[in-house]
Structure 1
Amino acid sequence: MSHGDPTPIRNGELIAAVDMGSNSFHLMVARVEHGEPRIIDRLRDSVRMAAGLRADGSLDAARRGLALDCLARFGQRIAGIPSSHVRAVATNSVRQLAAPHTFLAAAESALGHPVEVVSGREEGRLIFLGASHGLPVSREHRLVIDVGGGSTEFIIGRGLAPLQTESVQAGCIASTLRFFPGGKLTRKRWQRAHTEIGVLLQQFAEDYREVGWLDAYGSSGSAKAISSTVQAMKLSDDGITLATLGALREAMLEQGQIGVLKLPGLAEERAPVIAGAVVIFEAAFEALGIERLRVCDNSMREGLLWDLLGRAGGSDPRTASIDALASRYGVDRAQARRVESTALMLFDQVAAAWKLDAEAREWLSWAARVHEIGLAIAHSQHHRHGGYILRHADMAGFSRQEQQLLAAIVEAHRRKPDKAMFAALPQRYRQLSRQITALLRLAVLFRRARRAESLPSLRLQASGQQLHLQLPADWLEHHPLSEADLVQETPPMTELGLALGVSTA
């Protein structure tokens, strides 16, 4: 296997997905058979992290304890599975934390695997990927709605690919707590909830109606709970309609109190959050003009499993995101290729000494392809502009931590690197980011002329924090600018925690 090949996942091997939702945490373990995940075990715990979020962005101790205890149980189940075969993601509740790193460090320790935080749109992509694998093959547009505990995702797509993805800050737990404080259900409160959620949906409703869809599906536990309830109440035996939602609303308002809510087919654990889910669906039906919504059994956790297999099989959506970003910001592709090939040549010389794997090589490749995207804004400080774009852009396939890693490398590829920027990365990325940055800086230095020209024989050696570069003496004599650049590169390398030495032969 070459340095650039993805780590394969073979038939018979186990993979796992951990979905740290704002309502429930899910673990799904699968065995790969004929290139597909076959589920062999599931665990679920109703943690309800969204209920523990405070206005200042902190998480109450009780919910934090429940979350970590749950992850410890999950961790025991998947202890024998390598981290390359596990994807654990956190969603809206962790996105809302004021200091997510503190919680994530404890979560990763409990689980025994890295935890990624995904954006709302990336969450939507994974939801649609999972849902599509559980639905009949179709060439038509589909709408998938996933009402979570803290947010709701709306995705229109075709096949396995999303075309439109939106995430709104309205989930079953958050909406129930906000609009029905004390558990009191009144018509006035319901109307306020319906109106405010409807306003959120109007931001994209017209665009969604214009794109259109043939069938609509609900992929979350909220959709399943509502569907089970309307069937048990004999309101519908074919999905959810606006009329059945209205009947369900009236039944809840008649009872008047969430604490005593009892409806046919409604699980006891769902009763405390069902009001928020129903009002979100009701507002969505009206804003988007949905006629009927059916339940899909698959959701984000299945999407995580399929995404794992895609990455291992060479169809990583992150590569497509990098190429799309380079196109959008008019990157000089020829220069990017020159820098990339030089950076990878240097990588291959030090990979063994630094114990860098195929994934590290891919990070260097991606960084080289987009290291100049900031030029679309201005040449001055373009490395900082590039870092900002990479932190804040919607990039399919990337978690927030991964975007921060890429942004740090690009932002530090010229001028004095910011130590605090690397220190803010998750521990597992800190050394990697500095090493990749060092290789990218050298590649950019040697390709400063921005033209196709042969480079001298470059010999780069690494030993711990030491880097030694050997060049032909006559080449340096004829390239005084490169010689001066190498001299000036010593202090920035020191900021990266590396000592650069240069000699001639």
Structure 2
Amino acid sequence: MKSPTHPDQLRDGDLIAAADIGSNSFHLVVARYTHGDLRVIDRLRESVQLAAGLRKDGSLTPERREIAFKCLSQFGQRLASLDPSHVRAVATNAIRQLSHPQAFLLPAETALGHPIEVVSGREEARLIYQGVVHGLPSSNKKRLVVDIGGGSTEFIIGRGHEALERESLQVGCIASTLRFFEDGKITQRRWNQAKSEIAVELQQFGANFRGRGWSEAVGSSGTMKAIGAIVQANGWSEQGITAASLVRLREALLAAGNSNQLNLPGLSSDRVSVIAGGVAILDAVFSTFGLQQMNVCETAMREGLLYEMLGRAQHIDSRNASISALAERNGVDEAQATRVADTAMRLFSGASKGWNLDAQALEMLGWCAHTHEIGLAIAHSQHQAHGAYIMAQSDLAGFSRQEQQQLAAILRSHRRKPDAGGLSSLPPRMQPTTQRLTSLLRLAVLLHRARSEEAIPEFRVHAEENVLTLELPARWLESHPLTRVDLEQERDYQKQIGIKLVVSKSAPQASAA
């Protein structure tokens, strides 16, 4: 599998691609960067219905696994010629629900040829909004965006390019169809039960959303486009989805009585088995939010991923803002964080070539350095553990679940006895880099234990395989006995994360005659 690098820049004509590994469908979109914008040149889609293979114990049926891997192999062939740094693959609710996601992700990544990120529901919502807003005319008015997926439904209120509110519910077209219409029968009693139970879940944030208000409601992704196609093909709505057209569609489903009997103009064959659950969700959404009209957008999360990649290449990265906000919320000592970060960067500079650390790893180390003391907001004792918990559980825009786990693992082991088990629990592709970044951050924190403005002297670093050599001036070490003792103890700690630390003394330079 190819190792990703940071897309420092995009040149005119470069191709970038986004894979959306959804609970119902898998999508791949390829775009060309030209004249500062993106032009889509290829799309692939497969109805995998991954959520239909989820068992109650959190495992996935062999049939769905094979369908998924076959699809990802096809995507991988299309991506084979692209720069790995220009590809991003994201998985959503169905993978979030797996009891052992790595059992699926490892062969899935092999089939695709690229890492697969798992994003939280709220991060999925943010990416959906980014995709939608780029597919609509520019407006400063607030919009309500609803995206009904196979396993979850995302709700966003945004203005311009900013998502103001984000929520994700565990209701999707496949999940709701299996829950309320599993045998295909569609009755008034079942419909009422579905609408009622979904509406109860919507009440968790319904009042807050209604208080925010919006000028336009927009639906995105496959279920919304399918419903829009049906109501327009049947002449029930001239544009988008109206409350009246939704009533007509519901009546048509009830009249059919069974999904096997559905024969509606505009309804594609791959949507027949899951349309009832999707329409029931939208029926509850219209009632809860008092909607009369919803326009349908052609763009969704996959386009959001493309524009997120474009932003990162142009050094507009939402992750930087998330880290700054996290540090500020938890009262981090900015001066100390900056000192540690500066020294960590110097250590990285010396070790990066020997350890094959890329620009992405440099960013990761910087984020850790600026947040390594967030746990002090809870208590000094074991603050590394508190900080790791805060990092893992916070809602951080721009980060995948694996990235937050990686950051948390480094914070958990940045001082005292490292948590080797936490490092080994990460996906295998992340472990070597995480191990090495942890080593560098530990040394940076150790060298600034005094929290003083005193500059760290010039030092040399050499890294090769799992050996890190740090050379410090002999005179400086002699005048800093506490640091000398800390470094001696640090050798034992570094062994626990698989690093052999060698500390040597550099002799004073001879003065000129």
Instruction: For 2:489 and 2:214, locate their aligned partners in 1 and report how far apart those are by CA, in whole Å.
Output: 58
Equivalent-residue separation in structure 2 for 1:489 and 1:465 (angstroms) = 15
- TM-aligned CA deviation for residue 91 of structure 1: 0.4
Q: RMSD value over aligned CA atoms?
A: 1.2
1:138: which partner in 2?
A: 139
Task: Report the equivalent of 2:511.
Answer: none
Alpha-carbon distance, 1:368 to partner: 0.2
Aligned partner of 1:298 in structure 2 is 299
Does the CA-based 8 Å contact 1:83-1:114 persist in structure 2?
no
Task: Tell me how far 1:451 sits from its aligned partner.
Answer: 2.1
CA distance in 1: counterparts of 2:475 and 2:115, whole angstroms? 48
5 Å-filtered alignment, 1:56-455, equals 56-455=57-456
TM-score computed with the length of structure 1 as normaliser: 0.98
Aligned to 1:18: 19
- The one-letter amino acid paired with 2:141 is E
Flag as ranges the 4+ runs of structure 1 deviating above 4 A: none
Q: Counterparts of 1:414 and 1:244 in 2: how far apart (Å)?
A: 61
The answer for the alignment partner of 1:472 in structure 2 is 473
Secondary structure of the residue that 2:354 maps to in structure 1? helix
Q: Deviations over 1:352-371 (max 9, x none)?
A: 22121111111110000111
Secondary structure of 1:269 counterpart? helix
**Contact 1:241–1:293 (CA under 8 A) maintained in structure 2:** yes
Q: Distance in 1 between matches of 2:329 and 2:288?
A: 32
- Kept in 2: contact 1:68–1:107 (CA 8 A): yes
Query: What is the TM-score of this pair, normalised by structure 2?
Result: 0.96
Cα offset for 1:132? 0.4
Matched residue SS, 1:124: helix
Distance across 1 between alignment mates of 2:298 and 2:7:
30
Ranges in structure 1 where 5+ consecutive residues have no aligned partner: none
Question: Identity across aligned pairs (percent)?
Answer: 57
Change (3 A) 1:432 1:196: same
Q: Distance in 1 between matches of 2:157 and 2:263?
A: 34
Q: Hey, what's the Cα distance between the residues in 2 that align with 1:216 and 1:451?
A: 54
SS in 2 for 1:489: helix
Q: Distance in 1 between matches of 2:7 and 2:46?
A: 33
- Cα distance, 1:302 vs structure 2: 0.5
Distance 1:31 1:479 in 2: 56
The one-character-per-residue Cα deviations of 1:380-400 (angstroms, maximum 9, x if unpaired) are: 111011111111111111001
The alpha carbon displacement at 1:5 in A equals: 8.5
Amino acid at match of 1:420: G
Alpha-carbon distance between aligned partners in 2 of 1:6 and 1:55, rounded to the nearest angstrom? 40
How far is 1:240 from its partner? Answer: 1.2
Distance in 2, Cα, partners of 1:322 & 1:498: 28
Cα deviation 1:84-115 (Å, max 9, x = unaligned): 10010100000000110010001000001110
**Runs of 5+ in structure 2 lacking a partner?**
508-513
SS in 1 for 2:105: helix
Determine the C-alpha separation between the residues in 2 that align with 1:396 and 1:376: 21
CA-CA distance at 1:328 after TM superposition: 1.1
Q: Which residue of 1 aligns with 2:491?
A: 490
In structure 1, the partner of 2:510 is: none
Paired residues in the alignment total 502
Deviation at 1:6, TM superposition (A): 5.3
Does the CA contact (< 8 Å) of 1:209 and 1:288 recur in 2?
yes
Asked if the contact 1:6/1:314 (under 8 Å) is kept, the reply is: no
Please say if residues 6 and 358 of structure 2, whose CA atoms lie closer than 8 Å, have aligned partners that are also in contact: no
Superposed CA deviations along residues 301-352 of structure 1, whole A, max 9, x for unmatched, are 1111111111111001111111111111111111100100011011111112
Answer yes or no: is the 8 Å Cα contact 1:168–1:200 preserved in 2.
Answer: yes
Equivalents in 1 of 2:400, 2:296: separation in Å? 27
Q: Which moved more, 1:168-177 or 1:269-278?
A: 269-278
